Structure 1
Amino acid sequence: MDQGQLTTAIGSKDPARSLRAVLALRRLAEQVEADAVASARRHGWSWQEIGAALGVTRQSVHAKYAK
């Protein structure tokens, strides 16, 4: 879905359509977060700094993204 489709779907009276939009947004947010964490690591950020920026502990962000 593109941005316009998401906006329309979120406001839909059809629950199935609204929920599909929520899922698409959740997946997009996860990908954006992963890309941002990878970028921060490439720029020398510590897990502590990344966790603080995301409002989570360094342990949780490390467990989720360390490879």
Structure 2
Amino acid sequence: MEVDEVLTIARATGDDDPRVALAAARELRRAADRTEAAVVRRARVGGMPWAEIAEQLGVTRQAVHKKYGRR
């Protein structure tokens, strides 16, 4: 997703129609989740330990491993 697209969606969260604003918030959350997953994969490929990734994300090591670890 391009930066301009994210900005457009972010602006839509202020729409007077709550349906439009809620849909935009949902899409921002999905985009953030996809971005976080990609960054975590890059960090792991680069050798960063789960504990450090967790610290940077503000969660526990167990939480980040559960969410992104191999199953």
Normalising to structure 1: TM-score of the pair? 0.91
1:63 paired to 2:66? yes
The alignment covers a number of residue pairs equal to 67
Shift of 1:13: 0.3
Q: Distance in 2 between matches of 1:41 and 1:54?
A: 14
CA contact (8 A) 2:10 2:25 kept: no
Give RMSD over aligned pairs. Answer: 1.5
CA contact (8 A) 2:14 2:21 kept: yes
1:25 paired to 2:15? no
- Going from structure 1 to structure 2, the CA distance change for 1:18 and 1:58 (only over 3 Å counts) comes to same
Residues 1-67 of structure 1 mapped to structure 2, 5 A cutoff:
2-67=5-70
What do residues 7-47 of structure 1 show as CA deviations (whole Å, max 9, x unaligned)? 44112100000000000000000000000000000000000
Normalising to structure 2: TM-score of the pair? 0.86
Q: Distance in 2 between matches of 1:43 and 1:23?
A: 30
